[in-house]
Amino acid sequence: MARWLNIENDMKTLVFQITGFQEGEENFALCVQFAMSNIKYHRFLSVDSHRVTKSLNGILEKFEIHSQLDKKDCLQRLCDQFLSTPCFEGRDTGKTDTHYSLLMLLLNVGENPTHSTYAGKPQILKAPEVVDDFDWGAYLMEGIETYSTIYADSDSESDFEPLSDEEETVVPVKSKEIEISEKQEVDPSISTITSDASTFYVEEEPDPRESGAAWLTRNVTVQYWCGQNQPEDPDNTDNLKRDWQKYREATDPIYSNQDSITMTEIQLLREVLWILAGVTDSFVFILHGDEFIVRENVFVQHLTDNSLESYLSCFARYGSYVQRLLRFEEESICGSHDLSVTDNNKLTCQTYQAFANAISNFIKSLRRELTQLEKKIIKQEQTMTLAMLHGDLSPWLKKIEVIYSLYVRGILEADWMVNNCQRASHLLSGLFEAVVEYDTLGQNASDVVELLIPLWIQTTKPYIEVIDEWITNGNLVDPRSEFILKRNENVKSLDESFWETAFTIHVPEDSTLPSEIHESQHTVTENSKRSRGGKSVDKSTGIVIVTENSKPNRGGKSVDKSIGSSHWAPEFLEPVILEVVLAGKSMEMIQDLGKLADVCGVKREKSLYTLFLESLQDLLGTRPHDDFVEDPPPDLSMYPEQIDRQMRVKGIHDPLLKINYMNIFHACNVRLHGPIEEEDKDSQMLSVLETERLQPINLVLKQCLYPHITQKYSRVCTQLVQILKEEYNLMGYLAAMRHFFLMEAGDTMFDFYSPIFDKIRLNTHWRDISTVNLILQEALQAHFPEESRRLYVSIEDLPKDRRPINITDCIKLHYKVPWPVDVVISSKCQAIYNQIFTFLLQVKRAKYCLDELRFCDLEKDPALHSHSGTEFSLHLDEDMPREGRIHRMHILRMRLTYFVNSLHNYIMTRILHSTGIEFKQDLEKAKDLDQIIAVHNKYVNTIHERCLLHKMVKLLKQAVMNVLNLILNFQALWDEGIQEISLKTIEGMEIEFSRCILFLSTFLNNVIKRGSFPHLESLAFALVTSTEHLTKGRAHVT
């Protein structure tokens, strides 16, 4: 109560001083009550040390901005000193809540610190007290033996019996040791400190009796590289080399051992580690070019010459491998930034750079292992010999040999190739084949597979990134021309031949390479067949093979042996190379159409390489890597010293300007550091893959890489097809081609060709382009007025030796197809359409001529015509009367009509209609533009072939043309009247028609029996039926 009473009295005084209320007033009592309630019952929150530190840093930065650096330094020093002082809460450490509470109080009390003046007090340094820590007890007791005797607690007399001579022991104990043993407590901070050999090394104190020269002789390495020999120990009896030299000197009188260097095995071990790490300057191993040679005059005391040479030669060979790999790495770096070279094929391709980077990562891991072994050798805590070193390094030596073999197989063997495309494909295919080869060995090569999988994947990264950029954004970015395809700059994006000729495969022009080109074409065709359900689309793959001028073979080397091992494309991409090409071309076309945002969207997707790595990680899993310690990112100071120096020279002392400069360069540092972190992340993902669960590599690709490519291909190509069908009316244009060129719009085309046929029959002038186009426009206005702006006719010249049936061959239809529909309906397709249209027009004309014949025209009255004497004598000599000849003409007309109708029905139903139904079904199933082009080309070529326009059925077409021409001659005779037609003329036409029909029926019958052209069965049946009266006894076609 006394404590609270004192506080209450103080509180009353405080209230009086602040408010001025007198004791006894109501307000005075309320203030005292409120203050006492807060003191007794209120609980305040603990101070926030982070908030105090942030406020303190703000004041320090404010001092720096205002150029009050003295205040800043003094405040920072005092705060650090205060926080580190252990003076509160009974703790022996600083930075307690009390420390931060006092600092917070001072920060809140302080007002406008930047405008106040501060003069620091001079610090008085106290001289440290001299503590006499000399052990006087040990010094005074030096040389005096002390005896310790243990006495028991019992009082029996047996305890006081003197010890016997055997039991009597004297234990000399130094006073210092007794003093330490009597201490019961040890400082816990000292007891937790453990010595670590990796942090410091305690060196043995030299013997004071040993002189300086003797200590140097014993501890400093002999300069064997200057010709000094290791001194021999005279007491050593195990000197095999010395005994061997004495034996050779005794047995060989001319033997001399001059200029020989004797080394220790530890020195040899370190030399071996150095050359394996890539060091070129070595005493034991002499570098000639890129190959190490063992020095001959080096000996070891306990090894014979042959044994030493066998070990050193083995290590020299692997050291040579490392040197060649390092030289390739250096050449890859130097050859990729030569600004004087303009030809991309002469620069190092990115695939080579990625392979060199993978080799560099391997050599770094090898150097880490060699560093650990060298530390182990330096400590000399364990025995290490050349044989033991070879055993410890045998896994790494095997890996070096494997990587060097890949270097020879993928780089050196491709030295004859003239472009980066072949080199990159050869390297990637060689690495893939090596992975497959070692993977088939199973557990016997698991360590090699674990090495090759990351190496191969890292090397494929540039190639996969080129593909990813192409099929994702429509940009074929290939700065080193290493991709198998190259953009043809002569073909514009809006060209109708874009799909076929925009991208080319480069194959060197060499007489030894036709088989390789044929094989590559066959491979593309086979891949397209597999991806198209067995349908060949080799004409529409869009890949055109062009040749480049090749250079002569380097050094006159033959390349015949290397041709078989070269690849036109990376082997691991061959199953999906067609999907890659189609997706890339589709994406570029979508980009030209301005629909890229609709396909890609706003959200940025993961790269194809990242998806590949993540799928690999999900499939194979990861190894436990707790021992893996990620290296902290390097602290790169991007603030240049030149700027600071220039500011001091010009007398500019602006801390704010310096802070802004540092922020700018820090942002640059972050941007530069980003790709490094991404590359390190990819390397880390590859390093922890669990290769023991590795499936066959082809299955891995089918599950991890191919699905991502197929997914992008399906999305892009489906979107392009949808755009063409919905926004550019592709189906409408295809229907228009069938309506007009294939005459499916019968009424419109009848209105077009019937006036022309009438003009030809009346022998009036009709071959005028304006007249024909006017007729076409009038025909279109009735049913297809919207097509009048796209469809027009041109008139071409005809050969002089033409037949009557070929008079309409000069008519050519033209249909204006806009881009990008003209990629499907190209000018080549329109040329084929015109050939079909010409043939159909000939059939239509023959049918129209027979249909337009009138009986009155044939049976004209002879009195209405004037006859010459020759004609009159002809009628007199006629054996058959006029009615008989009319009857014969009627029969011949019916036979010709039956033939023409059979041919017309065959073309319009069996060919155009049924083939059109198949075309529509295949068009609905098409998933990409390439399939649409392939289906359309197949449709046009099928009709072209079945309309007897193929070279293989040239004789059949010739027979049909003879019959059609006969019909036109028959129509001309009919129009002249029966009085102008003799029996001989009628018989001649009948014989010619019968011969053509007999030939056609026989030919078609034989073809159908072989099963070559099943679509001709209906036509053959009709023709055979029409010739039954001429071919009695001939087997009927069933």
Q: Mind listing the pLDDT tens digit for each residue in 670-707?
A: 555 544 455 566 666 676 676 666 778 888 888 888 89
Average pLDDT of the residues of the chain: 75
Reduced to 3 states, what is the DSSP secondary structure of residue 689? strand
Q: Which residues of 901-918 are buried (b: 16+ CB within 10 A; e: fewer)?
A: ebbeebbbebbbeebbee
Query: Which range, 173-177, 360-364, 629-633, is most confident?
Result: 360-364
Going by C-alpha positions, the residue among 831, 952, 956, 941 that lies closest to residue 903 is 956
Q: Mind listing the pLDDT tens digit for each residue in 806-831?
A: 888 899 999 999 988 988 998 899 99
Q: What is the pLDDT of residue 624?
A: 62
Query: Which range, 201-215, 269-283, 694-708, is most confident?
Result: 269-283
Q: How many residues does the chain have?
A: 1038
Q: How far apart are CA 848 and CA 743, in angstroms?
A: 14
Burial of 563 (0-12, 13-18, 19+ CB in 10 A): middle
Per-residue pLDDT band at 125 (split at 50, 70, 90) = low
Asked whether the beta carbons of 582 and 717 are under 8 A apart, the reply is yes
Whether pLDDT at 779 is above 50: yes
Whether pLDDT at 556 is above 60: no
Asked whether the beta carbons of 978 and 886 are under 8 A apart, the reply is yes
Beta bridge partners of 286: 293
Q: How far apart are CA 849 and CA 841, in angstroms?
A: 12
Whether pLDDT at 714 is above 50: yes
Q: What is the pLDDT of residue 239?
A: 64
Whether pLDDT at 1035 is above 50: no
Q: How far apart are CA 267 and CA 290, in angstroms?
A: 23
Q: How far apart are CA 454 and CA 456, in angstroms?
A: 6
Q: Maximum CA pair distance of the chain? A: 187
Q: If you average pLDDT over residues 770-776, what whole number do you get?
A: 91
Residues 6+ apart with CB under 8 A from 484: 421, 425, 505, 506, 568, 569, 570, 577
CA dist 950 → 415, 836, 943 (Å): 48, 11, 10
User: Which amino acid is it at 89?
Assistant: E
Going by C-alpha positions, the residue among 189, 174, 188 that lies closest to residue 135 is 174
Q: Mind listing the pLDDT tens digit for each residue in 141-168?
A: 766 655 544 444 444 444 444 444 444 4
Q: What is the pLDDT of residue 557?
A: 36
Q: How far apart are CA 692 and CA 443, in angstroms?
A: 8
Pseudo-torsion of CA 270, 275, 280, 284, nearest 10°?
60
Count the Cβ atoms, other than its own, within 10 Å of residue 589: 23
Place of tokens 């400093």: 220
Per-residue pLDDT band at 525 (split at 50, 70, 90) = very low
Long-range contacts of 922-926 (CB under 8 A, 24+ apart): 923/731, 923/734, 926/721
At residue 622, φ and ψ (nearest 5 deg) are -125, 150
Q: Strand 291-294 relative to strand 285-288: parallel, antiparallel, unpaired?
A: antiparallel
Q: How far apart are CA 472 and CA 477, in angstroms?
A: 12
Q: Lowest mean pLDDT: which of 141-155, 349-363, 609-623?
A: 141-155
Enter the pTM of the model. Answer: 0.63
Give me the half-sphere count of Cα atoms (radius 13 Å) on the Cβ side of residue 446.
10
Beta bridge partners of 108: none
Rounded to 5°, the CA angle 187-189-195 comes to 110
Beta bridge partners of 547: 507
